[in-house]
Structure 1
Amino acid sequence: MTELSEHRFSGPVTVFQDMRLPETATPAGYSALIDAYKLAVPLPRMLSATGEHHRIIEKDGWRIMTPRHAPHPTLEGHLTFALKYEGLDLAVLKRLFLETGPAAIEALVRKSPTGSYARRIWFLYEWLKGTRLDLPDATAGRYVPVVDPGLQWAAQEKTAPRHRVKDNLPGTPDFCPLVFRTEVLDQFIGLDLPRRAQDIIADVSRDLLARTAAFLLLKDSRSSYAIEGERPPQDRIQRWGRAIGEAGRQPLDRDELLRLQRIVLGDARFVKLGFQQEGGFIGEHDRDNRMPLPDHISARPEDLASLIDGMVAFDHGPAQGIDAVIAAAILAFGFVYIHPFEDGNGRIHRYLIHHVLAARGFNPPGVVFPVSAAILEQIDEYRRVLKSYSQRLLPLVEWEPTPQFNVRVLNDTGDYYRFFDATPHAEFLYACVQRTIEQDLPNETEFLRRYDQFRQQVDAFIDMPERLIDLLFHFLKQNGGRLSNRAREKEFAALTDEEAERIEAIHRQVFGNARER
């Protein structure tokens, strides 16, 4: 396909793909390219257009810019506008390049061989398509980054002499989600949460820290199952907790993912272990004919190898050069969208958060932030974040039901899982990590300090095994700081009235209105 003529691009509109614009405006950048080339892609979270007024507004998923921002109504004009103002949307670019073919991009580069945007477009075409255009190597032009670091988070730069650009893409052509720079993320990073965590534990004794870490670890494991609506036996919760405690020690690869699935499932008699061979989905079935009603459809089995390899390459390479929480969000949410297993995906997805944070030394040694517990407390927001991409992806997946009441994907969907905007996921995960550091970690440490005071004061006047002191505390907590008549008549019938009153007074003195776990 050659360059589109001017009339193929839309003029002013009020509706774009069933979405109303805040005011009459002309699609620009990615929205114009998606419309003109009929690209089947998830729409960017923010679309651009140019209006008739000399002010910029952002509303209802649209950024309406001024007439002076209007690009030339050509492929080059809208691509340049997109890279300049909208950053990279690799899914859109990949589908666009498939539609344009090489000739249109070669013509664009020959027209402006030293132009920074032309050379970035040229690099992206060859990077995404894995093919070489019929162009000689660039010999002039200042080196420019492929990802604008003022718009999106980028990895460490590598020079690409052929195009005279700096390759700072945070991934490979097999897996490269991107995250936009936002005020929210900049504020989170400015908090320096690793230092805050270190400050919190600085005065904590080694014994107390070990007990705090053990509880937080168990809390995360239990919460991760609860998110899935499961209540497994305690031994499986503890086994998964031990796996989380070792996160970051083993390099991520296919064998490691398979090992984690075996641990998380325990009894796998009714589940097919290993990567899916038939596809899968998240959702329900119609009660009458067992027709799948998917909310999300997994990546095709034939795409899993390259997607998993891309995730592994991201973890081993670009993830080391960007912020740890942002890298964890990209890896973990990328995995859960790919959904490579029949079961266990959600818990392994949350494990991958711990994997990245631990490998990067984000959390203090031996301490696991109970991110799953923070997610469980904000479960509606978690689901909203997951749907922020799933809802845009699902309409593009063509599928048919199988005799096994599963789904079979009929079109090429691999790029939808390789490239997505992970900004909402990074912001959500940062909020969860902040919560665990500023609430869970100090609250649990303080609770254990107070519990030790309670136990020591009870020990000082009555000889009671630690097991019974634990039970005593449990009953006091359950009954608002008082021993119930049942407890006094059964487990603690040997206590005198004076001893019971003294124990209750110690509990009030030590805990008062303090939060008990």
Structure 2
Amino acid sequence: MNLVGYARLQDSLRLSAFHLNRPAKIQPVTRIKRIGETLTVPPGSAPEPDDLLGHLLFALKHEGINLTLLAQALPQIPAARVEAELVKAPNGIYLRKACFLREAFTGEELIQHSPVRGAFVPLFDPDLYVTMPGERNSRWRVEFNGIGTIAYCATVERTPEIVALLDYDILARAQHFMRSLPTGMMDRAINRAYLHETQDSFAIEKESPSEDKARKFIQLLRQAHEGIPLREDYLVHLQNATISNPLDMAGAFRHEQNHLANGLQGAAGVTYVPPDPDLCRELMEQLMALGNSAPGRIDPMIAAGIVSFGFVFLHPFMDGNGRLSRFLIHHTLCRAGALENGLLLPVSVAMKREERLYLETLQSFSRPAREFWDVRWIDQGQYSFEFTGDPSIYRFWDATSAVRFTLEMAKRALEVELREETTFLENYDRVVRTVNEAYDVRGSDLANLVMMCLTNNGKVSNNRRKQYQYSVQPEVFDYIEQVTQMLLDQQAQQRPQDKSGH
């Protein structure tokens, strides 16, 4: 067998974990290097096949930190085996990391023949991962600098894409853009952003909100700026505010198992099963603590992605989790003080336009997690659920794709959605002003007709012409269309020039 490191541990100990992105394998190469999606290892650099501690230390050195596998593998390696290695290398960096984690996961103290010397070492390499200021363990001189705690931790790799998005500084650009708008335009643009964020957050859930529902959700979004700490009663209040059916309103985090389904009959239709209620409650306490502290300790956009997706993967309510998870993006950014003057990045609008990518990002966790559940269909709407995996798959998760997606949608919300909102308002003002100079039209009628014409690609529908036939002259309808289409055509011709100019 040619498996090395984490892949060897997962196979030998039958550990519950998602598919490894870069499994290590023995190959006819001269040095350890990545080829495609494999970490290739020369035969002479691989530990002996049955040396599990050797494979674990190899993984720590060459493959990074996978807490899901480490939490399951370390308790299965005898303390005596680890202690024997300590005698030979008491200050070994990767051995110290292994000892620190083994004690944290088992509560069993290892025998140290001599105290560890040397500088503190970070558990997560800051060059490879996004990290938080950590807690130092003086016994092993290891600093836990993960995003979370040893009970719940998300990992985010510093991929080139994420580094570039962070360097772009989306939040600072959004603030600058809004401050650059003419007086009064900022408030109007923000108001339209709130409206469209609400409509598209519901649309992602295949719902069309009533006027009352939309108004309540807009109030909810504005409430994010209050920076209220995450607590169970606050999240229950938010869940109740997003739900219209009183029977679906929660009184606390769920006390029963829930699941997501795609409409197919039986167990085959169950697409995701979140953690059982007890584990969910425990991990929600961890996630809320992280959501309250992380925005001031790491980049707010990274914190927002972790809190939002972490929430939806735990699914603490029987209904309303999707809308709340997207609300938590705004809440996290506001907790960090990153959005001023009521500013909102309409990320749900961007997500709706990139719905396929949003689904793929969710499925990168939900699909492999589903494989660890034995789901049996009992009768209509009734299932039995048996978890066959390890709780660590929910405790320790790779948030890299979730964070990248959140950053990409925030960038799009700034570059496309917010700019389109302001362009729409500028066009509206220009058309209204031009028509007013030529005709005397009641203000409210003109406002409605121009708004409808702009949203209908420069056409006033026959229904609208009939609706306003007794208060607006027939030639006004044609003039509104003419002015609007001329303006839209001019802007369409300018777009290629704008792109080539950047």
Decide: shared fold, TM above 0.5: yes
- Provide the residue aligned with 2:344 in structure 1: 368
Matched, 1:182 2:163: no
Matched, 1:141 2:125: no
Listed one character per residue, the Cα deviations across residues 53-74 of structure 1 (whole Å, up to 9, x for unaligned) are 2473443x43324456534542
C-alpha displacement of 1:363? 3.4
- Provide the residue aligned with 1:382 in structure 2: 358
For structure 1, list consecutive stretches of 5 or more residues without a partner in the other structure. 1-10, 12-25
Secondary structure at the residue paired with 1:46?
A: coil
- Provide the residue aligned with 1:43 in structure 2: 19
75 and 355 in structure 1: CA distance in 2 versus 1, 3 angstrom threshold: same
* 1:150-299 alignment, distance < 5 Å: 150-247=127-224, 249-269=227-247, 273-284=251-262, 287=265, 290-291=266-267, 293-299=269-275
C-alpha displacement of 1:502? 4.1
For structure 2, list consecutive stretches of 5 or more residues without a partner in the other structure. 493-502
1: CA distance between counterparts of 2:466 and 2:88? 92
Listed one character per residue, the Cα deviations across residues 455-475 of structure 1 (whole Å, up to 9, x for unaligned) are 223233434333211222145
C-alpha displacement of 1:411? 4.5
C-alpha displacement of 1:299? 0.7
Q: Tell me, yes or no, if the aligned pair for 2:75 and 2:102 is still in contact at 8 Å.
A: no
62 and 510 in structure 1: CA distance in 2 versus 1, 3 angstrom threshold: same
329 and 109 in structure 1: CA distance in 2 versus 1, 3 angstrom threshold: farther
Listed one character per residue, the Cα deviations across residues 251-277 of structure 1 (whole Å, up to 9, x for unaligned) are 011112111111111222256653222
Matched, 1:98 2:98: no
Q: Tell me, yes or no, if the aligned pair for 2:239 and 2:249 is still in contact at 8 Å.
A: no
- Provide the residue aligned with 1:22 in structure 2: none
2: CA distance between counterparts of 1:36 and 1:441? 52
- Provide the residue aligned with 1:456 in structure 2: 433
Secondary structure at the residue paired with 1:303?
A: helix
Letter of the 2:296 counterpart: Q
299 and 86 in structure 1: CA distance in 2 versus 1, 3 angstrom threshold: same
Matched, 1:304 2:285: no
Q: Which of 73, 78, 83 does residue 55 from structure 2 map onto?
A: 78
Instruction: Give the percent of matched residue pairs that are identical in Structure 1 and Structure 2.
Output: 28
Matched, 1:62 2:38: yes
Letter of the 2:118 counterpart: G
Q: Tell me, yes or no, if the aligned pair for 1:143 and 1:166 is still in contact at 8 Å.
A: yes
483 and 36 in structure 1: CA distance in 2 versus 1, 3 angstrom threshold: closer
2: CA distance between counterparts of 1:392 and 1:486? 50
Deviates further, 114-123 or 246-255: 246-255
* 1:277-356 alignment, distance < 5 Å: 277-284=255-262, 287=265, 290-291=266-267, 293-356=269-332
| C-alpha RMSD of the superposition | 2.6
Listed one character per residue, the Cα deviations across residues 444-500 of structure 1 (whole Å, up to 9, x for unaligned) are 112212211222232334343332112221453466535456654551455456545
Q: Tell me, yes or no, if the aligned pair for 2:24 and 2:40 is still in contact at 8 Å.
A: yes
Q: Tell me, yes or no, if the aligned pair for 1:328 and 1:352 is still in contact at 8 Å.
A: yes
- Provide the residue aligned with 1:31 in structure 2: 7
Count residues with an aligned counterpart.
488
TM-score by length of 1: 0.87
Matched, 1:429 2:406: yes
C-alpha displacement of 1:96? 0.7
Letter of the 1:177 counterpart: A
C-alpha displacement of 1:406? 3.4
TM-score by length of 2: 0.89
C-alpha displacement of 1:103? 3.6
Moved over 6 A (4+): none
Secondary structure at the residue paired with 1:420?
A: strand
The structure with the greater share of residues assigned to helix is 2
Q: Tell me, yes or no, if the aligned pair for 2:16 and 2:389 is still in contact at 8 Å.
A: no
130 and 241 in structure 1: CA distance in 2 versus 1, 3 angstrom threshold: farther
Secondary structure at the residue paired with 1:470?
A: helix
* 1:409-488 alignment, distance < 5 Å: 409-411=386-388, 413-477=390-454, 480-483=457-460, 487-488=464-465
Deviates further, 320-329 or 375-384: 320-329
Listed one character per residue, the Cα deviations across residues 19-66 of structure 1 (whole Å, up to 9, x for unaligned) are xxxxxxx2111001111222122233322223112473443x433244
